[in-house]
Chain A
Amino acid sequence: MPIEVLMPALSPTMEEGTLSKWLKAEGDPVSAGDILAEIETDKATMEVEAVDEGVLGKIMVADGTENVKVNTPIAMILEEGEDKSALDAAAKGDKTPEKSEAKSEDKAEAPKEEASEENGDDDTEKPAGPPLAATPLLKPDDDPEIPDGTEMVKTSVREALRDAMAEEMRRDEAVFVMGEEVAEYQGAYKVTQGLLQEFGDMRVIDTPITEHGFTGLGVGAALTGLKPIVEFMTFNFAMQAMDQIINSAAKTLYMSGGQMGCPIVFRGPNGAAARVAAQHSQDYSAWYSQIPGLKVVMPWTAADAKGLLKAAIRDPNPVVFLENEMLYGQSFDVPKLDDYVLPIGKAKIARPGTDATIVSWGIGMTYAVKAAEALDEMGISAELIDLRTIRPLDIDTVIESVKKTGRCVTVEEGWPICSVSSEIAKQVQEKAFDWLDAPILSITGKDVPMPYAANLEVLAKPSVPELIEAVKAVCYR
């Protein structure tokens, strides 16, 4: 009976891809290990290998088809002795074709994580049915600073970051980007895609795997007035460079009595990806936010990623720009403006509400949005605050909201002890104690190293139900 070849998942979280090219035609013999087709995700082009022997009987998804869902049948392979009639039989449903998951091989050995629309909390309870959406998220064009009628372009966070760098590099010759695989490879997560081609290898610089050394090199160049963007393949690897970030980049302005600043951006994915376990899954937002002399930005949407990265590159201070791999592939409206720059240090109300304030930032916002939608259905109106910048912390926006709602819940993927949430809770109780109607609660990652097992990983992260329960609790519901 013919064997179905299914659209393979190229990472644990991939949902769809483009079938860019078939390398075998119908009627071609196929052996195990033969490359059948190339599949393109937003991050990489991968080859699909056959795992069965036979003849390529039928191509079911044509070259160039976009958005092919994982596990969609893309071809049928006829086994020895079978002919086309077997295909017809299979199509008529006389026999159930055997399923065969094609083996995929990442051409470039890109890390096998991929952005996801979901957030790893699929196993958790979700609000049933569509939310009432009484209070939709505010769109970038609700921002009074964006002119009415500005065109919005759906852009992934990955593209928005690339666009921000490209625009700033066009604008200022002193800006350059360096890091592992940023040039020839086009970025381990394709964030620097196309930059080498546009700006050349003097400004888009592949470094050896040498975080401590290249971070110090970037800082030294910044002390002379250049404006490096140092990409860490992930912030987990920046721990090796922590001394240069803190002792050299953050402190030199103060130690020099204001003479020698360090205009540099340290950027890259931060926090947990998917199934990469303890050493590759850590959120550093609290660590860097403790350091005077640093700014720490952690955007959620593509528009914020773009506007804030442009601001970070122009900032005369060292900026730690914490991205998230799970967000790279997510798309948001980005205003089509020649120069979209957002202020660092300004939170935004992502969604107005009246009953409770949920404060989050970066990937944490994905939990907050889902929880708020579910809470709507329960008759609880949550106001969502997206901090966007953690240092300097726009506590005023939080306080203003808490004075309105009387309740505050924070959500973040970072660890609970000495977290950004701890700091927010401390400042809110200091500045809005008399307005609070309930204790401040925090939903965070659990106080454990990130486990590998899928079920444990879900447990180690915060969840939407936990957040919903926390908001209900502070509302005494």
Chain B
Amino acid sequence: MATKAQKTSETASKSRTRSAKAKSDAKKPASADTPPALTEDQERHAYREMLLIRRFEEKAGQMYGMGLIGGFCHLYIGQEAVVIGMQMALEEGDQVITGYRDHGHMLACGMDPKGVMAELTGRRGGLSKGKGGSMHMFSREKDFYGGHGIVGAQVSLGNGIAFANRYRKNDRVCLTYFGDGAANQGQVYESFNMASLWKLPVVFVIENNKYAMGTSTQRATAQGDFSQRGASFDIEGEQVDGMDVRAVREAGLRAVERCRKGEGPYILEMITYRYRGHSMSDPAKYRSKEEVQKMRTENDPIERVRVRMIDRGLASEDDLKAVDKEVRGIVGEAAEFAQTDPEPDVSELYTDILR
């Protein structure tokens, strides 16, 4: 998929020196050039981590079908390169916050697959002791701030995490993920305004998977280039091939670096795709099977790494099968734990309401 170089409105670039500088920073990248190659270790890491999300989500879908997971369950299959590429651009202590399609983000942050899966099944060993569910998991240890079920709310919260970084004068950066649907919420723009005004160290990562639940971006947005949604607030942005982990990482590194230097927020629009429905109960009648199939066969983020590794001679088919086996083992263990771990003790009903 071709990525589009960013366009900066003339007024924005003229109005403030910061914009002009930002513009020059952003020049080198995002254009249709092939992103820099990953090292063998990086390719291997990306492959394994993306595969873990893929297999985990497949298993979650299966368990949902078996009635083991209740309520809403939004799978991340197809979008794996976004979180893994972005995670590769972070340093220890940087924070992540996202919406309800959050399993991939948690695994990318290094949260325990057993804890995530047990939360999906509502068990006491779940990351939220079974009280949060699919959309509400957190990890102080891994600097993961959720897991939020109200579309767009995490954007204001992410601003607050970035604000806290500035307040504490640390050089941490907060990645605030949201989707093309959330990008139409009012508070996103309230947040853009304050983030730019106060130069908050926040990267807004818009995961444009083309459908806000069942409404395509064409039907929901007057201006479909989400990377330019910050123009009114002097926030630069660019579109990134979210199906190519290399492109994501490369754009992520630049964006995070800008933030860390105190240059303020940045927008990365990840052009991506989800293979499954919005949630498990979505038959996805709003798009054709062919559309999904085409994406899977031509543009799968994991397959792209696999092919590259084989082509570059970085791994053999057997090597990669071994990775798959290892990952399946982890997921199997998580699924086993999530089914055998007991439900929360009834006394937990009234705990954790107040401190």
Contact = CB atoms under 8 A, between A and B. Distances in A.
A220 to B, nearest CB: 2
B163 to A, nearest CB: 5
A425 interface: no
A256 B97 CA distance: 14
Contacts of A317: 354-355
A260 B145 contact: yes
B355 A254 contact: no
A256 B132 contact: yes
Interface stretch (B18-26, B44-52, B74-82, B184-192): B184-192
A431 B197 CA distance: 54
A316 B168 CA distance: 19
B131 to A, nearest CB: 5
Nearest to B162: A220
Given A210-B190, A213-B191, A220 B156 contact: yes
B284 to A, nearest CB: 28
A208 B132 contact: no
Interface of B: 95, 97, 126-132, 136-140, 145-150, 153, 155-164, 167-168, 186-187, 190-191, 193-194, 197, 351-355
B167 A257 contact: no
B194 A217 contact: yes
B277 to A, nearest CB: 24
A214 B353 contact: no
Nearest to B128: A257
Contact of B128 (A221, A255, A295): A255
A218 B191 CA distance: 11
B187 A212 contact: yes
A223 B145 contact: yes
Nearest to A218: B160
Interface string A303-344: 000000000000011000000000000000000000000000
Contacts of A220: 97, 145, 156-164
17 contacts: A202-B167, A208-B193, A210-B194, A212-B156, A213-B191, A214-B156, A216-B156, A216-B160, A243-B153, A248-B153, A253-B354, A256-B137, A257-B126, A257-B128, A258-B351, A292-B353, A293-B353
Q: Select the residue from A176, A215, A224 with max chain B CB neighbours within 10 A.
A: A224
A224 B163 CA distance: 10
Given A216-B156, A292-B353, A257 B132 contact: yes
Contact of A213 (B126, B128, B149, B156): B156
Contacts of A210: 190, 193-194
A353 interface: no
Contact of A252 (B146, B155, B197): B146
A221 B354 contact: no
B353 A252 contact: no
B193 A213 contact: yes
A226 interface: yes
Contact of B131 (A207, A254, A260): A254
Contacts of B354: 253, 293, 295, 317
Contacts of B167: 176, 202, 221, 226
A195 B145 CA distance: 31
Interface in A216-269: 216-226, 243-244, 247-248, 252-261
Interface size class of A (residues with CB under 8 A): 35 or more
Nearest to A318: B354
Given A220-B159, A224-B161, A256 B138 contact: yes
A255 B156 contact: no
B191 A260 contact: no
A134 B50 CA distance: 78
Nearest to B192: A213
Contacts of A248: 148, 150, 153, 157
B177 to A, nearest CB: 14
A317 B352 CA distance: 11
Contacts of B352: 253-254, 256-258
Contact of B132 (A217, A223, A243, A255): A255
A298 B283 CA distance: 50
A122 to B, nearest CB: 41
B88 to A, nearest CB: 23
Given A224-B95, A244-B157, 10 more contacts: A210-B194, A216-B159, A221-B164, A255-B138, A256-B132, A257-B352, A258-B129, A260-B138, A293-B353, A293-B354
A221 B168 CA distance: 11
Contacts of A176: 167
Contacts of B129: 257-258
B166 to A, nearest CB: 8
A219 B150 contact: no
A245 to B, nearest CB: 11
B134 to A, nearest CB: 11
Contacts of B156: 212-217, 219-220, 244
A299 B190 CA distance: 32
A256 B153 contact: no
A378 B207 CA distance: 71
5 pairs of A and B residues whose beta carbons are closest in the complex = A220-B160, A216-B156, A213-B190, A257-B129, A220-B157
A219 B131 CA distance: 20
B194 A214 contact: yes
Contacts of B158: 220
A254 B133 CA distance: 11
Contacts of A254: 131-132, 352-353
Interface in A176-224: 176, 202, 207-208, 210, 212-224
A316 B167 CA distance: 19
A226 B157 CA distance: 13
Contacts of B145: 220, 223-224, 260
Interface in A114-150: none
B265 to A, nearest CB: 13
Contacts of B161: 220-221, 223-224
B353 A247 contact: no
A266 to B, nearest CB: 14
B153 A244 contact: yes
Contacts of B97: 220
* Most interface-central of A212, A254, A293, A316 (chain B CB within 10 A): A254
Nearest to A226: B164
Nearest to A293: B353
B187 A216 contact: yes
A253 B131 CA distance: 10
Contacts of A247: 149-150, 153
Nearest to B145: A223
A396 B137 CA distance: 37
Nearest to B141: A259
A316 B140 contact: no
A362 to B, nearest CB: 22
A213 to B, nearest CB: 3
Contact of A216 (B126, B155, B164, B351): B155
A217 B160 contact: yes
B344 to A, nearest CB: 9
A293 B131 CA distance: 14
A40 B167 CA distance: 36
B138 A214 contact: no
Contacts of B130: 257
Given A221-B163, A248-B157, A256 B146 contact: yes
Contacts of A258: 129, 351-352
Contact of B140 (A208, A215, A221, A260): A260
